[in-house]
Amino acid sequence: MKALALQHNREALIRLYAKYSDTLQEELGVRPSIEVTKLYGQLLTQLEATE
């Protein structure tokens, strides 16, 4: 996710997180950890601030 944020690729970041979240739910029945969700939010916020 950090690499995509550094590339300013917001759409790919969103797709990656969605795929990650869906896969965790489908295969393990869990949601992303608080830490991963927080990182995702921070990266999106940073990208939005630079647009």
Give the per-residue pLDDT at 50. Answer: 87
pTM above 0.95, yes or no: no
**Residue range 2-51, pLDDT digits in tens:** 999 999 999 999 999 999 999 999 999 999 999 999 999 999 999 999 87
- For 40, counting Cβ atoms within 10 Å of its Cβ (0-12 exposed, 13-18 middle, 19+ buried), the class is buried
How many helices and strands, by DSSP H and E, does the chain display? 3, 0
**Residue range 10-22, pLDDT digits in tens:** 999 999 999 999 9
